[in-house]
Structure 1
Amino acid sequence: MFTVTPEAQKEVSVFFEGKEVQPIRIFIHGGGCGGPMVAMALDEEKDNDVRFDIGGIPYVVEKDLFEAGKPFEVAFNGMGFAVNSSLQLEAGGGGCSGCSSSGSCGC
């Protein structure tokens, strides 16, 4: 299952106003001090992707990642997007201790 909340869909639609619509890739970002996370970015569709067209916007996820992490949900919380999934990602290095941020993870 792959869903996009109404708030997220509205924000994505606003982003593409007056622009050519491009696929949005859902992927694992290596992360920084907080470890790996599920992220999204504009990209091209590839042969090994699963594609979801929601509100005229194509979202793509590599097939193996989709199977490992479903369900996926793209949400918008007023400050930014969040991609939620069932993946259990390990923080590599104990949170923010290695990024020189005093007390917060603002890397």
Structure 2
Amino acid sequence: MITVTQAARKEVAKYFDGKEKSPVRLFITSGCGGPSLAMALDQPKEADTVFTQGDVDYIMETELLKKAQPVTVDYTGMGFNISSSLELGGGGCSSCGTGGGCCGS
């Protein structure tokens, strides 16, 4: 199940104000801080599960959702926070900014 808090729904509604609504995909991305859940506009695919919260569809690959649920999307004032039961691990690189690691090198 995907739950979107009232604060997150409000921010998503602000984003779509004056725009055509599009489904929001939840997915795993990787960066200097290691893997994390992220959001992007996308269209549902055959292997996806769709949850409607308010008047916006949130989509996630069904196999990922099975491993991650429950998934909660919140907005903290500093940005969106997506939490789940996944243990994504820290990862990342210890030399960010030094030119010798994985970030920006």
- Give the Å deviation of 1:96: 5.1
Task: Indicate the percent of aligned positions where both proteins have the same amino acid.
Answer: 48
Q: Report the RMSD for the aligned CA atoms in angstroms.
A: 1.5
SS in 1 for 2:15: helix
Cα distance in 2, alignment partners of residues 98 and 70 from structure 1? 33
Instruction: Give me the TM-score of the superposition, normalised by structure 2.
Output: 0.88
Per the alignment, residue 19 of structure 2 pairs with 19
Runs of 4+ in 1 over 3 A off after TM superposition: none
- Give the Å deviation of 1:98: 2.3
- The answer for unaligned runs of 5 or more in structure 2 is 99-103
Cα distance in 2, alignment partners of residues 96 and 82 from structure 1? 22
Q: Is the contact made by 1:33 and 1:98 (CA closer than 8 Å) also made in structure 2?
A: no
Superposed CA offset, 1:7-42 (max 9, x none) = 000000011011010010000002x22100011111
- Give the Å deviation of 1:91: 2.4
- The answer for unaligned runs of 5 or more in structure 1 is 102-106
Aligned residues: 99
Instruction: Give me the TM-score of the superposition, normalised by structure 1.
Output: 0.86
